[in-house]
Amino acid sequence: MKDNFITSRIQSFRNAIVGWWHVIRTQKNAWIHATATFLVILMAIWLQLSMRDVAVLIITIAVVWTAEFLNTALEIVVDLASPETHPLAKVGKDVGAASVLIAAGSAVVVGILIMGPSLLEKIRTIVRLFS
């Protein structure tokens, strides 16, 4: 019983990694999210943000990635269920895409609110050094 549980958990992780790789490989927007994730993490380190601010950024990043993954899954399932073009299939896909847009737009606002003041201060310091 215990061995079966462990084996099934390992298989679940493998399936998740396969799904992750599929999104990274096939979704152009995933590369935009990956680039933004990398830049936000670098900036958070450079700005020496508090752990709380970093935690909020990580949660925000996770929400965007989750929306992208769910949107991709929705698109795949809709394509499977409705291989021909259907108005409701299009609406379903458009709503899924809107969820990613909402998450990404919210992430930009959160990023500006959290990193903006520290970034402006860093820029002011740099400008003063070269003035």
Q: What is the pLDDT of residues 69-98, one digit of tens each?
A: 999 999 999 999 988 989 999 999 999 999
Quick check: helix, strand or coil at residue 36?
helix
8 domain residue, yes or no: no
pLDDT of residue 6: 87
Which structural domain range is residue 109 located in?
A: 28-129
Comparing C-alpha atoms, which of 74, 73, 61, 67 is closest to residue 35? Answer: 61
Residue 80 lies in a domain: yes
Whether residue 12 is contained in a domain is answered as: no
Domains in the chain, number = 1
**pTM (two decimals):** 0.88
CATH number of the domain residue 47 falls in:
1.10.287.3610
User: For the chain, which ranges sit under pLDDT 50?
Assistant: none
**What gap in Å lies between CA 99 and CA 111, rounded to an integer?**
18
- 23 in any annotated domain: no
| Gyration radius (Cα) of the chain, Å | 20
Domain contains 10: no
Would you say residue 13 lies in a domain? no
Q: Is residue 5 part of a domain?
A: no
Three-state DSSP at 1 gives: coil
